[in-house]
Amino acid sequence: MRVLVVEDNNELAELLTRKLEAASFGVDHAATAEEAGDALRDTRYAAVVLDLGLPDRDGISLVREMRSAKDSTPVLVLTARSGVEDRVAGLEAGADDYLVKPFAFEELAARLRALLRRPGEVLGKVLETANVAFDTEARQVFVDGRPEVLSARELTLLEILMRRSGKVVPKRYVEDHLFGMGAEVGPNAVEVSVHRLRKRLEALKARLEIHTVRGVGYLLAEAAA
């Protein structure tokens, strides 16, 4: 899969190229918006990694140009500005995701993979956190590689949490997806389900921890050693 890296800083461009290649991407590099425009006309890329601070013109205008030319290649914007307005401007222009410098390369690679997966493959994939794997297609959970049996509700809850592993899933979201939109559920229904799943995971020796963020929701993460 070939990606275009648009970055005017040569050192950063080299590092990105080397690491992306190591992560089995094919990489082309453009140092200016003009070069990028040329490259985009000649080659069909799987994705574009675009730095907004280019010497010749604003990277956002390049995205806008691509979109108006019906080029839907996913664009991951790299920006030096953390101002929310700038982010919103990037996304409004048609960028698919953004990352603020400096970033961890793993984050960049993960976001890039996520962009390349979109949209079709969401269902047929295996979610993995710590020693737990969740085959969402077969609806099968593996702990340390051995298949385990969970109840339907446990499976649904675990999937909700594993899909957003490391992030807080709002309680309302859990409630809606576990019991259906607008379902009449008791005030503690979600807590009870989470409690059961915790017990179950503990019994299965899964190295997962479900944290309660009181008043907000739940967060699934690898259990601290």
Partner 1 sequence: MIRAPRSILFRIVSLHVAALAAASLLIPLTVVTLLNATVTAYERDALHRHEAEIARAAKFEAGRWRLDLPADLQALYAHGYAGFAYAVLDDRGAVLFSSLPSGASIRQPDPWRPKPRFFRHERQGAVFHGGLFHERIAGRRLWIEVTQNLSDPDVVVDDIATAFLKRIGWLVLPILLALLALDFYIVRRALKPVLEASQQAGSLGPDTLSVRLSSEGMPSEIEPLVRAVNAALDRIEQGYMRQRAFTADVAHELRTPLSILRMRVEDLSDADAARPLLADIDAMTRVVGQLLEMAELETVVLDPDQRADLHALGEEVAAYMAPFALSQRKHVALTGTGAPVWVQGDKPRLFRALRNLIENAIAHTPVGGTVELVVMAPGEIRVLDEGPGVAPGERELMFRRRWRRDRSKGDGAGLGLSIVARIVEAHGGAVSVENRPEGGAAFTVSLIPAPEPSAAGVVEQGHADERGQGDQPDRA
* Token pair in block for residue 123: 């269902």
User: CA torsion, points 136, 138, 142, 145, in degrees to nearest 10?
Assistant: -120
**What are the tokens at 179?**
């019991």
The verdict on 102 binding partner 1 (CB under 8 A) reads: yes
Q: Which residue has 């080659």 as its token pair?
A: 43
Interface with partner 1, residue 210, by CB under 8 A: no
Segment contacting partner 1 (CB under 8 A): 23-31, 180-188, 198-206, 216-224?
216-224
The CA–CA distances, whole Å, from 56 to 36, 74, 199 equal: 11, 22, 58
User: Least separation, in Å, of the C-beta of 213 and partner 1?
Assistant: 4
Query: What gap in Å lies between CA 190 and CA 217, rounded to an integer?
Result: 10
Given the complex with partner 1, which of 102 and 119 has the nearer CB atom?
A: 102
**Nearest CB to partner 1, comparing residues 79 and 193:** 79
Contact 137, 123 (CB under 8 A): yes
Choose one: 90-98, 127-135, 183-191, 195-203; the region binding partner 1 (CB under 8 A): 90-98
Task: Work out which of 149, 183, 216, 223 binds partner 1, going by CB under 8 A.
Answer: 216
* Residue nearer to partner 1 on the CB measure, 51 or 150: 51
Reported as type and span, the H/E element at residue 149 is: none
Count CB atoms within 10 A of the CB of residue 219. 17
Under the criterion CB under 8 A, does residue 225 sit at the interface with partner 1? Answer: no
Q: How far is the CB of 27 from partner 1 (least distance, A)?
A: 14
User: Rounded to an integer, what distance in angstroms lies between the CA atom of residue 61 and that of residue 63?
Assistant: 5
Q: Which residues of 104-136 are buried (b: 16+ CB within 10 A; e: fewer)?
A: eeeebbebbeebeeeeeeeeeeebebbbbbbeb
Contact code string over 63-82 relative to partner 1, x by CB under 8 A: ---------------xxxxx
Question: Judged by CB under 8 A, which of 46, 143, 160, 221 binds partner 1?
Answer: 221
Q: Please identify which residue in 39, 100, 116, 130 interacts with partner 1, judged by CB under 8 A.
A: 100
Q: How many C-beta neighbours within 10 Å does residue 201 have?
A: 23
Among 35, 64, 94, 105, binds partner 1 (CB under 8 A): 105
Binding pattern for the stretch 155-194 against partner 1, x by CB under 8 A and - elsewhere: -----------xxx-x------------------------
* CA R_g for the chain: 21
Binding interface with partner 1 (CB under 8 A): 9, 11-12, 15-16, 19, 53, 78-85, 87, 91, 97-107, 166-168, 170, 211, 213-217, 219, 221, 224
